[in-house]
Amino acid sequence: MIKRMGKLKCIIIFVLLMIVSMVLLGIKSTSTDELLTTEFEVAEEISLIGSALVYNMNYNQLGLIVNSMIKSRKDIVSVTIIDDVSQGVIFSYSLNGDIKTFNGFSTGYLRGYSSPIVHEGQLIGSVNVELKPIALTSSSNYHHKTGFIIVFFLLVMMFLNLVFYALLKLSMSGSRPVPFGSKKFVYLVLSCMSGFILMTVVGGYFIIEKNRKIIEERVEIYLQETITDFGRDMERTRRTLESIYNQMTHSDEFQRVYRDLVYASYSDENVLYESNYNELLNIIARYNDFGISGDSSFLIMNVEGDVIAQQGNDLTVDDIDKTINSAFIGALSGNAEFLPPKKTVNESPPLYYADLYFSYPIWDEFGNVIGVFFSAIPKISFVYYDISQYSFGLSGELVAKNNDDYIVSNCRFPKASTLDCGYMYSNLSHERHIPEHKGHLELVEDYRGEESYIVSNWRDDFNITLISKIDSEEVLNSFYEFQRGVILILVVMSSFTIFTTMYTLFLGKEANDKLIKSNYSIIKRLGHAAEFKDNETAMHIVRMSYYAKIIATNHGCDKDWVELLFNAAPMHDIGKIGVPDYILQKPGKLTSDEWTIMRQHPEFGARIIGTQDNELLRMAHDIAIAHHEKWDGTGYPYGIKKEEIPISARIIAIADVFDALTSERIYKKAWTFEDAVMLISSESGKHFEPSLVNTFMRSLPEISDIKTQYIDKHEENIHEC
Amino acid sequence: MRYLLLVPLISTALSLKAWGSHREILDVGLINQGRLPYFSVPTEGLYIDILDEIGREVGIIFRYRFFPQSRIRHLMNHNLLDVEPGIAEAWRTDKLEFENSIYSHAILTSSEVMVYNPKNFQASPDTRFLMTLSRCSILGFSDLDSLKEKQSNDQKIITEIQLLQMLKNNRCDFAVFPEDVVTPHLSMFGLRVTNSIATFDLKLRLTQRHRALLPRINQAIEKMVSTGLMAKILMKYRGSDD
């Protein structure tokens, strides 16, 4: 079938199939190029799917669904679903089979998250999820890349084969011959090889760079997501705190205590103040279950900014900014806000704090703001000072720095002697990002001096810059492996291809040379056959071939062409095969009719050789038909003149006549060398081309040597094929 | 003048509200899909009428909250609901339920029947034979003693209407229902019932912390029975006074 369709068609179809498969592969790789799933998303997914089942207490069904979800993922370390009513565990999964108590806090650097389960507005439970730390670069991406590379190189190989196929055609075609093994052919092959190597190197470079960009894009998205997660958690925290403080400050008890405290503080009634202050602490303590600690520092101010009550010294009046955009003014306007963190570092023992505070307006029953409650953020897992829970991978973390580029959050890799982390700089960290704008990827040195990828985002509400970062080494580890793999493939492929191609060419040239030599040998023997018929010596064609070679070389002809001439020369008198022996070997002068027959031998020769694609035979044909033509147009068979006569025939004419003159024939004695030279010289511009005669004259020493070397021996036999 | 008339009305309403606010509120758990003739969503049915009357007598307010059956039992166990009406003592035997439950006098008697699809049987099936077949039941409902062995093979359904549909579609062979509840649906689903397989005295189930209320509740029930109010309510919803 392949034979019928033709090889070229088969190759084209194959290439098309490869392109289609590459496109399909590309589509597939795009469609599966999904974003990394975070622990937040997993927890929320379970929460959404399981809420109705938890509400109906259909725990069997819940177990089936969550287990099937877990089975489809390899990165889930544990899942715990807790019932809000009983606080009992209604579903538990652990990768290593251990039943563990999950407290909502991340353990180590696992990615953990706790999501509430809400059904029709009711909190009915919570789901806690822990995922394995992940390397941000997914290996699946490289499988797609490897597939792409394989297809790419197959296409290159196809291209190379097509080029060789075209070369083969070219070398066989008659119009623009590129002989196999010729310099032109070698140059073409080398050009193709260079093109191939260039294509593979350039292609490999682009693939590697594309891969790097893909990795960086994924890292950027992941780092942005970490910041987004933090923002989402903080917003959730703010709302939760707002609800709790709303509940607390709106209670009749709090309202009464607050009024009494205000009264007592202005009227200096210490006993009343003391009792109400204790009552206030009791009220706050009752909200312990909601995460508000009675031990936390707080500060309550009236609308004039006077302190009404205070606990602890972490937050003082001096820390409260009362400018237009401050949390104090915000609270007076009815808004609950976070206050920028206050950082403290104790020298000895080295301790580190960067607590966050929350402001909430105190309303009266008529909806007027009558005070502001500033409180330290309770110890909820995802708040600012416990930022380490956002750590991911082997080196990824979220840190916060202030306007001075000083890190005010706990860092994952603190200095050995202190929990302090030091400074960290980035170019974009102070840009005011709008909420939707998530910041761009940068490559900077982190607080340890390690090169890191970071995404930074300024937070107006905290007066800090959040930086999500990961070591570039961790991110690019897979990339470097991929890069090394591609380079290895390129080198191996190129080396193999070059070696096999060159070796094939070498073997082909060897075989071709042998074939050419064999062909030339046959051609020479044919020439000898004609000479044998004429004067029974092979030395004539040997000598005249050399004479022609010497003249052509000294005339400045191309070396390959001279070689061709040397090999074609023996066939100049092949047409004599068609001349009867009695004419060729007649001792006396030929009659007019005999001359007529004799003069037909160029045409006989041309017909014997015929019209061939082969360059040698084409030249042999030219020589055979025109070697008796004369420069002045008086020759035969056609009487053409000057440049109308092929140059090969013009050279052969001189060589043939000179050797004929200096050789003995049946019908004449041999001329002396000098006489023959004189005749040639005298025929310049008549029989022979003048410039070639001049070349002949310059070549006499070499011609003389040849003549001396190849003397006629009538007894010589032609043997060997 | 009209505005002057409004003043005593508003005052009366506010005073009633103030009086009402002092009455104890008990949360009553009812199945969120409704269960006529006992109750429906939002608040109608014989349980509602009986409880409202008891509330008036005892001076408490019953607040009706609707949940899936399992959740009602769960919330009762953790004192987040106060009353589960229409419960036989034999149905609540889990440890927490047993420890945390007290029961009123009976408010009515319920006959339990087995429901099946007649297309699956050539003649009316024997109840003992039915028990060997596959059963559907409501998630959170207690099993009768005679059916407890089959529990592991049951298909658990969320609502009673879904359950009847399952029987109609031959997804299971039988289910156990109170006769009062299932009778109105039989013709619509093309189902039939067996003779009664059990009869239960249904009571109000309260959490232990309301033990002090129980005598007054029982007194109210007795009064309703003796005055014929109970029979009147039952007649209204069941068509009979028993």
- Can you give the pLDDT at residue A294? 65
Instruction: Return the residue in B158, B159, B163 with the most chain A beta carbons within 10 A, the one to mutate for interface testing.
Output: B158
Q: Are residues A141 and A210 in the same domain?
A: yes
Pull the structure tokens for residue A531: 């000479």
Model confidence pLDDT, tens digit, residues A659-711: 888 887 766 788 888 889 999 999 988 899 999 999 999 999 999 888 888 87
What is the β-pairing status of strands B24-31 and B60-67?
Answer: parallel
For residue B139, the chain A residues in CB contact (below 8 A) are 56-58
Q: Is A625 exposed, middle or buried (0-12, 13-18, 19+ CB in 10 A)?
A: buried
Percent of chain A at pLDDT > 90 equals: 8
Is this structure's pTM higher than 0.90? no
Domain spans, chain B: 20-110+200-238, 111-199
Are residues A315 and A331 located together in one domain of the fold?
yes
Cβ distance A57 to B78 less than 8 Å, yes or no, reads no
Q: Across the interface, which of B68, B78, B156 has its CB nearest the CB of A86? A: B78
Starting from the edge strand earliest in sequence, which strands make up the sheet with A441-445, in order?
A397-401, A464-471, A451-459, A441-445
Q: Is B77 helix (H, G, I), strand (E, B) or coil?
A: helix
Question: Which residues on chain A are in Cβ contact (under 8 Å) with B140?
Answer: 57
Q: How many domains does chain A have?
A: 5
By DSSP bridging, strand B83-87 and strand B136-138 are unpaired
Q: What is the pLDDT of residue A282?
A: 86
Separation CA A20–CA A638 (nearest Å): 62
CA closest to B159 among chain A residues: A56
Question: Where residue A210 falls among pLDDT bands split at 50, 70, 90?
Answer: confident
Tell me what the mean pLDDT of segment A281-289 comes to: 77
Say what the pLDDT of residue A6 is.
Answer: 63
Residue A437: pLDDT above 60?
no
Please tell me the class of the B20-110+200-238 domain: alpha beta
Q: Using a CB–CB cutoff of 8 Å, tell me whether A122 touches chain B.
A: no
In a domain, A236, yes or no: no
Contacts of B80 in chain A (CB under 8 A): 85
Residue position matching structure tokens 């925290």? A237
CATH number of the CATH domain containing A395: 3.30.450
Mean pLDDT for chain A?
78
Q: What are phi and psi of B238, to 5 degrees?
A: -105, -20
Cα A397 to chain centroid distance, Å, stands at: 29
- Structural domain that includes position A126: 39-131
Estimate to the nearest angstrom the gap between the alpha carbon of A335 and the chain centroid.
Answer: 52
The answer to whether the CB atoms of B139 and A85 lie below 8 A apart is no
pLDDT greater than 80 at residue A122 = no
Q: Is A142 inside any structural domain?
A: yes
pLDDT of A137? 46
The verdict on A590 and A703 lying in the same domain is: yes
User: What region does A147 belong to: left with phi over 0, alpha with psi -120 to 50, or beta?
Assistant: alpha
Distance from CA of A255 to the nearest CA of B (A): 21
In DSSP notation, B12-50 reads: HHHHHHHHHHHSEEEEEEEETT-BTTTBBTTTBSHHHHH
A518, part of any domain = no
Contact B80 A57 (CB under 8 A): no
Q: Would you give the DSSP letter of residue B172?
A: S
- Smallest Cα distance from A84 to chain B, Å: 10
- The confidence score (pLDDT) of residue B12 equals 47
**Shared domain check, A653 and A611:** yes
**Residue A88, both tokens:** 């009992």
Segment A278-302 mean pLDDT: 77
**What does the radius of gyration of chain B's CA atoms come to, in whole angstroms?**
21
Instruction: Flag if B156 and A58 touch (Cβ within 8 Å).
Output: yes
Percentage of the residues of chain A whose pLDDT score is greater than 70: 77
Of the residues A376, A406, A441, the one at which a domain ends:
A376
The CATH T-level fold of domain B111-199 is D-Maltodextrin-Binding Protein; domain 2 (3.40.190)
pLDDT of residue A95: 80
Inter-chain touch A60–B156, beta carbons under 8 Å: yes
Helices (H), A72-136: none
What residues of chain B lie within 8 A of the CB of A83, using their CB? 74
Structure tokens at A694: 């001049």
CA angle B88, B91, B95 (to 5 degrees): 125
pLDDT bracket for residue A526 (50, 70, 90) = confident
pLDDT at position A143 is 52
Same domain, A556 and A654: yes
Task: Return the residue of B nearest to A54 by Cα.
Answer: B71
Alpha-carbon B180 to chain mean position: 11
- The pLDDT value recorded for residue A171 is 64
Q: A259 to each of A304, A334, B115, how far by Cα in Å?
A: 15, 19, 66
pLDDT of residue A13: 73
**Residue A122 sits in the same domain as residue A141:** no
Same domain, A372 and A438: no
CB contact under 8 A, B71 and A57: yes
CB burial readout A238-277, b (16+ within 10 A) else e: beebbebbeebbeeeebbebbebbbebbeeeeeeebeebb
Query: Could you check whether B20-110+200-238 and B111-199 share the same CATH topology?
Result: yes
* Contact between residue A544 and residue A659 where contact means Cβ atoms under 8 Å apart: yes
Q: Which pLDDT value is given to residue A209?
A: 85
User: How many CB atoms sit inside 10 A of residue B30's CB?
Assistant: 28
pLDDT in tens, B45-72: 899 999 999 999 999 999 898 889 989 9
Asked whether residue A515 is domain-assigned, the answer is: no
Of A434-443, A575-584, A599-608, A701-710, the one with minimum mean pLDDT is: A434-443
The CA distance from B199 to B148, in Å, is 17
Pick the last residue of a domain from A475, A499, A516.
A475
For residue B105, the model assigns a pLDDT of: 93
For the stretch A669-706, what's the b/e string if a residue is b when 16 or more beta carbons lie within 10 angstroms of its beta carbon? eebebeebbeebeebbeebbbeebbebbeebbebbeeb
> Which range among A83-97, A397-411, A603-617, B83-97 has the greatest average pLDDT?
B83-97
Q: Is the distance from CB of B177 to CB of B113 less than 8 angstroms?
A: yes
Q: Say which CATH number the domain at A576 has.
A: 1.10.3210.10
pLDDT at A506 over 50: yes
Cβ atoms within 10 Å, residue A289: 7
| Element at A436 (helix H, strand E) | none
| Weakest mean pLDDT among A62-76, A111-125, A169-183, A621-635 | A169-183
Instruction: Specify the pLDDT at position B164.
Output: 92
> Same domain for A540 and A626?
yes
The residue ranges of chain B whose pLDDT is under 70 are 1-23, 145-153, 240-242
Does the ipTM surpass 0.85? no
Q: Chain B contact for A285, CB < 8 A?
A: no
Same domain? A305 vs A419: no
Q: DSSP state, B5?
A: H
List of chain B residues whose C-beta atoms are within 8 Å of the C-beta of residue A57: 68, 70-71, 74, 139-140
Q: A545 and A639 share a domain?
A: yes
A702 and A562 in a common domain: yes
What's residue A11's pLDDT?
Answer: 66
Residue at a domain's end among A131, A151, A168? A131
Say whether pLDDT at A571 is over 70: yes
